[in-house]
Amino acid sequence: MKRMGMRDMTCKSILKRWILLTLLLGLLLPSLALCEPTAEDYTKIIESNPEDVSAYFDRGCLYFEQQLYDEALSDFTKVIEMEPETAVYYHYRGNVYLMLALYDEAIADNTKTIELNPEFVYAYNDRAVAYYYLGRYEDAITDYTAAIVLDPYDADYYLNRAAAYEAAAAADRDTAESLQKN
């Protein structure tokens, strides 16, 4: 029997192979979804290879998703110690600091992210969030504007900047009212 090449395949045989592949994937994918790594899996990898940066990072991401922020903070700090020139590690730790309402630390980590990678748009946004919560609205507006320059198609940056403008205006009104009373 002659082996079929791609030119010899008919539409019917291609369709049969496509259906078979689709059925096979349909059977396999649900079982693969059940095999997502756990924190314990990453811990075993780390125990066998304490220098595995990706295992610490992936476990930190998992902890973050599970809202185990202290554990995530520990793992992200470890990866920063291991690879201090990787911007994304500072960004992830900065997100943990945001969730813990440690805004000065979040600002520091996002600033480091920007120093290492000035085009890392999410760092500008997340640093702006920290500035906003500290009442530093002008700094927040500056960072939201930088995010917009880098990614002008993300509506959230515009909405966040508008909220910062509104908060700054409200703070100005409060100051004016206070001065008028005196």
| Paired tokens of 56 | 């610490």
Instruction: For residue 142, give every residue at least 6 positions away whose Cβ sits within 8 Å of its Cβ, in sequence order, or none.
Output: 128
What is the residue-level pLDDT of the chain in tens, covering all 182 positions? 444 444 444 555 555 565 655 555 555 554 444 568 899 999 999 999 999 999 999 999 999 999 999 999 999 999 999 999 999 999 999 999 999 999 999 999 999 999 999 999 999 999 999 999 999 999 999 999 999 999 999 999 999 999 999 999 999 999 999 999 87
Give CA 10 to chain center in angstroms. 46
Question: Which residue pairs from 40-47 have beta carbons closer than 8 angstroms and sit at least 24 positions apart in sequence?
Answer: none
* H-state helical runs in the chain: 11-33, 39-48, 53-65, 69-82, 87-99, 103-116, 121-133, 137-150, 155-181
Question: Which residue pairs from 151-157 have beta carbons closer than 8 angstroms and sit at least 24 positions apart in sequence?
Answer: 151/121, 154/121, 156/125, 157/125
36-175: which CATH number, 1.25.40.10, 2.40.160.20, 1.10.3720.10, 3.60.20.30?
1.25.40.10
